[in-house]
Amino acid sequence: MKNKVFEKGYFPVSDGHNLYYERYGNPKGVPIVFVHGGPGAGFSPKHRKFFNSDKHNVLFYDQRGTAKSRPFASIKNNTTWKLVEDQKQLIEHFFGSQKVYLVGGSWGSTLSLVYTITHPETVKGMVLRGIYTATAEENEFYTGGGVGRFFPEVWEQFASLIPANRRSNPTKYFFEQMQSKNKKIRDKYTYAWSFYEICIARLNLDHTKVRKEMKKDKFYKSMSPLETFYISNKCFIPENFILKNISKIKHLPVSLINGRYDMICPPITAYRVHKALPKSKLFLTIAGHLRSEPKNKQLITQEIRRVCV
């Protein structure tokens, strides 16, 4: 793919954070903001393939503490509301008064929804994949044993790292270990958290492939501490905040794409959001969580081209 990155650099926001960004496509094209997952996963060149570089003007950026943003993996002054403020600043700076489309997956869907509920006047529509609304029910399924019914061997390996008396809150325990003064302990739990997530993210599990991916791409080093920090703090939003406030954005076109076999973001959440948004379209795919799975990939591309015009 021809590289059409026409600007990149660091964007200073509050509290000493500097966000790495890239602008891709046509500077005069349809304004789109790509909202990556995690928290802490960052964006990569692979994400460009969903967009039309002749028609779209896409802003990619790494959220606070993520990937190339500075300071790396920092949890200081790092909350959902800080990320909402950052996104507002970025949109105002790069797109002025233009309304933008948001494209995001997993945590990116959460942040997109929270942002749009807070600033509906700045958004024209959304294409979201792997819908997550940060409720206790969703988090309990993910780290409370629900996944073990489908990936028993993966769950057993994950749970074996948690003392029996701490298994009521695995996320908090993992987060504490990642803050250890002992580097070996920090590294062990940082790797193990993401290994668990990546294993259950795909329709077909291949442990060897997962290890190769993690060795090649070190994104997990910011994703694991930030994910556990956010989930331990209920993502800094009140319980069921998104569905309780979703009527504020019922006028917007929204595409919701979710793997029917998504173990991280089960499709019931996408279904509930769809029922609450009259102008939404719901696509349940024969896929797991990953954007790269064929059916997810196809529909993300299709819906971006349909919605973002």
pLDDT band at 308 (very low <50, low <70, confident <90, very high): very high
State the SS3 of 27-78. CCCEEEEEECCCCCCCCCHHHHHHCCCCCEEEEEECCCCCCCCECCCCCCCC
pLDDT at 108: 98
pLDDT at 79: 98
Cβ atoms of residues 104 and 229 within 8 Å: no
Give CA 119 to chain center in angstroms.
Answer: 19
Average pLDDT over residues 184-203: 96
What's the whole-model pTM score?
Answer: 0.96
pLDDT at 217: 76
pLDDT at 2: 61
What is the distance between the alpha carbons of residues 189 and 128, in angstroms, rounded to a whole number?
A: 30
Average pLDDT over residues 18-23: 98
Domains of the chain and CATH, by start: 5-134+238-307 (3.40.50.1820), 137-235 (no CATH)
What is the distance between the alpha carbons of residues 7 and 25, in angstroms, rounded to a whole number?
A: 10
- Look up 47 and say whether it is catalytic: no
pLDDT at 22: 98
Question: From the candidates 106, 112, 222, 255, which is the catalytic residue?
Answer: 106
Residue 116 has pLDDT above 60, yes or no: yes
Q: How many CB atoms are located within 10 Å of the residue 49 CB? A: 12
Mean pLDDT estimate for the chain: 96
| Residues 6+ positions from 175 with CB-CB distance below 8 Å | 225, 228, 229, 232
DSSP string, the chain: ----EEEEEEEE-GGG-EEEEEEEE-TTSEEEEEE--TTTT---GGGGGGS-TTTEEEEEEPPTTSTTSBSTT--TT--HHHHHHHHHHHHHHHHTT--EEEEEEEHHHHHHHHHHHH-GGGEEEEEEEEE----HHHHHHHHSSGGGGTSHHHHHHHHTTS-GGGTT-HHHHHHHHHT-S-HHHHHHHHHHHHHHHHHHHSSS--HHHHHHHHHH--THHHHHHHHHHHHHTGGGS-TTHHHHHGGGGTTS-EEEEEETT-SSS-HHHHHHHHHH-TTEEEEEESS-S-TTSHHHHHHHHHHHHHH--
What is the distance between the alpha carbons of residues 87 and 301, in angstroms, rounded to a whole number?
A: 23
Kindly report, residue by residue over 241-281, the tens digit of the pLDDT. Answer: 999 999 999 999 999 999 999 999 999 999 999 999 999 99
Residue 17 has pLDDT above 90, yes or no: yes
**Cross-strand pairs, 59:** 23, 33
Quick one: which of 258, 3, 242, 1 has its CA closest to 127?
Answer: 258
Question: From the candidates 17, 36, 53, 262, which is the catalytic residue?
Answer: 262
What share of the chain in percent tops pLDDT 90? Answer: 94
pLDDT at 138: 97
Average pLDDT over residues 58-65: 98
Average pLDDT over residues 47-73: 97
pLDDT at 179: 96
> Cis (ω within 30 of 0) for the bond into 170?
no
pLDDT at 216: 81
pLDDT at 256: 98
Longest Cα–Cα distance in the chain: 57
Q: What are phi and psi of 85, to 5 degrees?
A: -60, -45
- Look up 206 and say whether it is catalytic: no
pLDDT at 14: 98
- 271: its two tokens: 């279904």
Kindly report, residue by residue over 195-220, the tens digit of the pLDDT. Answer: 999 999 999 888 898 999 888 877 89
Kindly report, residue by residue over 121-145, the tens digit of the pLDDT. Answer: 999 999 999 999 999 999 999 999 9
pLDDT at 1: 44
- Look up 217 and say whether it is catalytic: no
